[in-house]
Chains A and B, each alone.
Chain A
Amino acid sequence: MSSVPPYVRFRGVQKSYDGEQLVVKKLDLDIQRGEFLTLLGPSGSGKTTTLMMLAGFETPTQGEILLDGKPLHTVAPHQRGIGMVFQNYALFPHMTVAGNLAFPLKVRRMSAVDIELKVKRALDMVQLGHLAQRYPAQLSGGQQQRIALARALVFEPSLVLMDEPLGALDKQLREQMQLEIRRLHRQLGLTVVFVTHDQAEALTLSDRVAVFNDGVIQQIDTPKALYEHPCNSFVAHFIGENNALPGTVVSVSGAECRVRLADGSEVGARASTALSAGEPTSLSIRPERIALNVPSANSLSGRIEELIYLGDHVRVRLNVAGHEAFTAKVPIADMHDDWLAGHTVPVSWFSHDASALDPLVHH
């Protein structure tokens, strides 16, 4: 992968709207051809701004964006040939569905016959051929979203940008559309830059996810690596469920470290590179990595506060080391009948399933 030059490259990109505050602080990002990259982050973290710079609607205040090795600012926005799906679709309300799809082709001066053929093919691709003569206002949200997708793809761009395209849809429709977008990505060999604030969506769709916060990429990795090996507390919290136990680093040996928790007990964990002995830390453990009633090296005792039976697993809220919102997800098969609120049980996990990360500032 590293031998292939990246298709899109952000080099030291900064962006400020008002000349005072940096919305994008420092962006270095390589996107490979054919990759599905998601920009994930809370609202206001600069995802849209990043996308708009790539599309050419905003200019970086510093740094450079290269597309296929060429500096992007040398190409006018309308000549970049980048497909784009907007948050509220931006379908032209005064044109029919067919008119919307034909627009990019008419602009390219294609013949009427070609246009008709391509419009039809694009509509069939999103299975909405029967709606060609409708106006956008006559379509449901999901249909509008598909048309927006078809319009962004009808002129066969190789790079497609999508800004929270599924944000307005209900859960079921969203999941259906996620599958559809995945299918199109594979089938057409597209490079996709996808923006979302929904971590489940990011994990479902992406080859890689870039986690944004405060205009900085916190971590960029595959979904699995992000989930299993978050590089800081923000990522650990933003993606998936997470237990965070405050503590102090006692010792570091290579990738391992020992952490003393608030109640004085000591546990082992994976060390993030930035930590050294004596520093405060936050221990991050996923709820499904926690075992109850299995005494082991990293064993604490926890008092059960609440038990929620969910059919396939049981959620147990415990008080561990003075932390009251410690959650464990236990498979039903491992559940014991004597787990009742108020009981104390051994709480354990493997050292390599716990990460010692930067201490939480707020919370």
Chain B
Amino acid sequence: MSEVSLTAIDHSTDKNASLKQRLLRAEGSYRRRSMLLIAPLLIFLLISFVLPIGNILWKSFDNPEVVRALPTTLLALQGWDGESRPDEKVFVALVKDLKTAKDEGQIPSLIKRLGYEDGRYRTLLTMALRKLPDDGVESTSRSLIAQSTLWAEPSTWRSIQRAGRTLTAYYVLAAFDHQVDAQSGNIVELPKGQALYLSVLMRTLWMALVVTLLCVLFGYPVAYWLAKQPSSRANLWLIMVLLPFWTSLLVRTAGWIVLLQNGGLINHSMIALGLIDQPLQLVFNRVGVYISMTHILLPFVILPLYAVMKGISPNYVRAAVSLGAHPFRAFWSAYVPQTFAGVTAGALLVFIMAIGYYITPALLGGPGDQMLSYFVAFYTNTTINWGMAAALGSQLLIIVLLLYWVYSRVTRPANPAQRA
């Protein structure tokens, strides 16, 4: 009896396997054809999206300066115990490397890079380069140490070793206000005066959060009202909502300066109406940034909300009222929960866009209102520090990914039927 059922099971699994194979074969050509259709987009995304982002992520760890400039020094340091003063051959190698680097024009990037490890190395190297010991000198180490006792310190060489790795955590640590201590080699917080990015990051997140909340607060009623309009009129209003997109971001931002400045339209009319005596400071501070960013990002909340609300039958609220709920309660418990998907989609969109904002805070904010992107721009345009720019950029990227992960967990419906 059991034999019979066993063979039956075997038979069925065998059949299943071949069915699966047949299904794969049957769908294979369809899948290949659809791959072909989306191939242009895939290639475009790869070139314009995946590669640059990969490059940025790579740049925040890439550490080529010292490796390129001091190859023999690093080689000579390999046998060093890390505690005592290095051998004479290390000093000789350094001088040799510095000479080559000088000829090849690698000195500025080397000085910049070693300066990140410890500011004192800047003068140390400049001094050494000004008076490089000749080949003939009897002890290279002694003449270098004569310039500065720092050359005798093992920590100096440890720093060179650390900066000489092909990959570095320096930029990423710096982006989180940390560094590797030159003496101990431990990861420590940056001293108070130098710490900057964590507070900028917090400020960025906070400003984005405020803008998101404002957008949802203003956008929700607008979307609700739009969804209640007959569609011909709603379309007209939707065009009005989208109107800001027809002008460039720069023009809109400049427009806000005109409106919000001390002698601007808003202050002017409020003084004329006797509401205030002194003009309010509405621009070149946080208020101006909030006003303008909310205005610019509002459509990104309204549109997904409108789409969601349009699909909600008025019968839900009616049903709740017929069941005895006060209209407010009916709205709150029968309507609002059905718009959560739209709210989270819109809010996430606004938040993600807001944390990357650069022009608006730069033009409408004060020095204390600059967001993380300002520093990314600063490092790419002004100091040409790609490592730092890339690390800060990656920081934003990782936060966005984290947010997205949280979002997908939070919005996963409790109802498994909707999950499918």
| Binding between chains A and B | yes
List residues of B (296-334) whose CB comes within 8 Å of A's CBs.
313, 315-316, 318-327, 329-330, 333-334
Nearest chain A CB to B320 CB, angstrom units: 7
Q: Is the CB of B324 within 8 A of A155?
A: yes
Interfacial chain A residues near B325, Cβ < 8 Å: 78, 103-104, 107
> Interface range on chain A: under 10, 10 to 19, 20 to 34, or 35 or more?
20 to 34
Q: A78-B330, A90-B316 are in contact. Are A135 and B415 (CB under 8 A)?
A: yes
Q: Is the CB of B338 within 8 A of A86?
A: no
A161 to B141, alpha carbons, bound, how many Å?
A: 100
Interfacial chain B residues near A336, Cβ < 8 Å: none
Interfacial chain A residues near B313, Cβ < 8 Å: 88, 90
Q: Is the CB of B316 within 8 A of A92?
A: yes
Q: Is the CB of B315 within 8 A of A103?
A: no
Counting CB contacts under 8 A, is A55 at the interface?
yes
> Chain A, 91-121, contact with B by CB distance < 8 Å: what is the 0/1 string?
0111000000001100110000000000000
Give the residue of B319, B329, B416, B418 whose beta carbon is less than 8 angstroms from that of A90.
B319
A103 to B334, alpha carbons, bound, how many Å?
A: 10
Interfacial chain B residues near A208, Cβ < 8 Å: none
Q: A137-B417, A138-B415 are in contact. Are A107 and B323 (CB under 8 A)?
A: yes
Q: Is the CB of A55 within 8 A of B324?
A: no
Nearest chain B CB to A272 CB, angstrom units: 40
Counting CB contacts under 8 A, is B337 at the interface?
yes
Interfacial chain A residues near B319, Cβ < 8 Å: 84, 86, 90, 92
Q: Is the CB of A103 within 8 A of B323?
A: yes
List residues of B (334-361) whose CB comes within 8 Å of A's CBs.
334, 337-338
**For the complex, would chain B's binding face be called helix, strand, loop or mixed by DSSP majority?**
helix
A174 to B18, alpha carbons, bound, how many Å?
A: 42
Q: Is the CB of A138 within 8 A of B318?
A: no
Interfacial chain A residues near B330, Cβ < 8 Å: 78
Q: Is the CB of B324 within 8 A of A138?
A: no
A135 to B338, alpha carbons, bound, how many Å?
A: 14
Interfacial chain B residues near A90, Cβ < 8 Å: 313, 315-316, 318-319
State how many residues of chain B have any CB contact under 8 Å with chain A: 23
Q: Is the CB of B334 within 8 A of A92?
A: yes
Interfacial chain B residues near A87, Cβ < 8 Å: 315
Interfacial chain A residues near B329, Cβ < 8 Å: 107
Which residue on A lies nearest to B329, using beta carbons?
A: A107
Q: Is the CB of A77 within 8 A of B333?
A: no
Interfacial chain B residues near A155, Cβ < 8 Å: 323-324
Interfacial chain B residues near A142, Cβ < 8 Å: none
Nearest chain A CB to B342 CB, angstrom units: 13
Q: A107-B329, A137-B418, A138-B416 are in contact. Are A86 and B323 (CB under 8 A)?
A: no
Counting CB contacts under 8 A, is A187 at the interface?
no
Q: Is the CB of B322 within 8 A of A82?
A: yes
Nearest chain B CB to A274 CB, angstrom units: 40
List residues of B (372-420) whose CB comes within 8 Å of A's CBs.
415-418
Interfacial chain B residues near A302, Cβ < 8 Å: none
List residues of A (55-99) whose CB comes within 8 Å of B's CBs.
55-57, 77-84, 86-88, 90, 92-94
Give the residue of A82, A94, A107, A152 whose beta carbon is less than 8 angstroms from that of B338.
A94
Interfacial chain A residues near B338, Cβ < 8 Å: 93-94
Which residue on A lies nearest to B319, using beta carbons?
A: A90
Nearest chain A CB to B222 CB, angstrom units: 23
Nearest chain B CB to A107 CB, angstrom units: 5
Nearest chain B CB to A21 CB, angstrom units: 15
Interfacial chain B residues near A83, Cβ < 8 Å: 322
Q: Is the CB of A77 within 8 A of B321?
A: yes
Q: A78-B321, A78-B327 are in contact. Are A88 and B315 (CB under 8 A)?
A: yes
Q: Is the CB of A84 within 8 A of B322?
A: yes
A304 to B334, alpha carbons, bound, how many Å?
A: 60
Give the residue of B316, B321, B417 whose beta carbon is less than 8 angstroms from that of A138.
B417
Interfacial chain A residues near B333, Cβ < 8 Å: 92, 103
> Chain B, 101-135, contact with A by CB distance < 8 Å: what is the 0/1 string?
00000000000000000000000000000000000
A137 to B413, alpha carbons, bound, how many Å?
A: 12
Counting CB contacts under 8 A, is A151 at the interface?
yes
Interfacial chain B residues near A138, Cβ < 8 Å: 415-417
Interfacial chain B residues near A135, Cβ < 8 Å: 415, 417-418
Interfacial chain B residues near A55, Cβ < 8 Å: 318, 322
A56, A81, A90 — most chain B CB neighbours (10 Å): A90
Q: Is the CB of B315 within 8 A of A86?
A: yes
Interfacial chain B residues near A152, Cβ < 8 Å: 322-323
Q: A86-B319, A90-B316 are in contact. Are A78 and B415 (CB under 8 A)?
A: no
Give the residue of A57, A104, A137 whose beta carbon is less than 8 angstroms from that of B324.
A104
Q: A88-B313, A90-B315 are in contact. Are A108 and B418 (CB under 8 A)?
A: no
Give the residue of B318, B324, B416, B418 whose beta carbon is less than 8 angstroms from that of A107.
B324
Interfacial chain A residues near B320, Cβ < 8 Å: 92, 103
List residues of A (37-59) whose CB comes within 8 Å of B's CBs.
55-57
Interfacial chain B residues near A103, Cβ < 8 Å: 320, 323, 325, 333
Additional A-B contacts beyond A135-B418, A138-B415 (20; CB < 8 A):
A55-B318, A57-B318, A57-B321, A77-B321, A78-B321, A78-B322, A78-B324, A78-B330, A80-B322, A84-B322, A86-B318, A87-B315, A92-B316, A92-B319, A92-B334, A94-B337, A104-B325, A107-B326, A107-B329, A137-B417
Q: What are 16 A-to-B residue pairs whose CB atoms are below 8 Å?
A: A55-B322, A57-B318, A77-B321, A77-B322, A78-B324, A84-B318, A88-B315, A90-B313, A90-B319, A92-B319, A92-B337, A94-B337, A104-B324, A104-B325, A107-B323, A138-B415
Closest 10 CB pairs of A and B: A104-B323, A90-B319, A84-B322, A137-B417, A135-B415, A90-B315, A138-B417, A94-B337, A107-B324, A78-B321
